[in-house]
């Protein structure tokens, strides 16, 4: 797997677990939401949930196989 942002995001989030925005910034990039947008166009799906007033978590839920 390459070391580009989409591949790193898939590698991290393919476990189906919730990941905090802070973790995604540390492990992927501060532009993780832009990377998730690119992946959505490729058929990946993500859920977002509010943890506290200003904290969110994300998880990859479904991957469409082409």
- The parent domain of residue 16 ranges over 5-63
**Structure confidence at residue 1 (pLDDT):** 47
Q: At what angle do helices 32-41 and 5-13 cross, to 10 degrees?
A: 90
What's the rounded Cα separation, in Å, for the pair 30 and 13? 16
pTM: 0.82
**Structure confidence at residue 63 (pLDDT):** 55
Tens place of pLDDT for every residue, the chain, 66 residues?
457 999 999 999 999 999 999 999 999 989 899 999 999 999 999 999 999 998 999 999 865 555
CATH code, 43: 1.10.10
**Structure confidence at residue 64 (pLDDT):** 55
């Amino acid at each position: 797997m390459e070391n580009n942002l989409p591949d790193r995001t898939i590698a991290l989030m393919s476990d189906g677990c919730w990941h905090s925005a802070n973790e995604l910034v540390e492990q992927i990039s501060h532009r993780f939401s832009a990377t998730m947008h690119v992946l959505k166009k490729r058929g990946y799906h993500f859920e977002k949930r509010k943890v506290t007033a200003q904290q969110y978590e994300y998880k990859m839920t479904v991957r469409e196989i082409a």
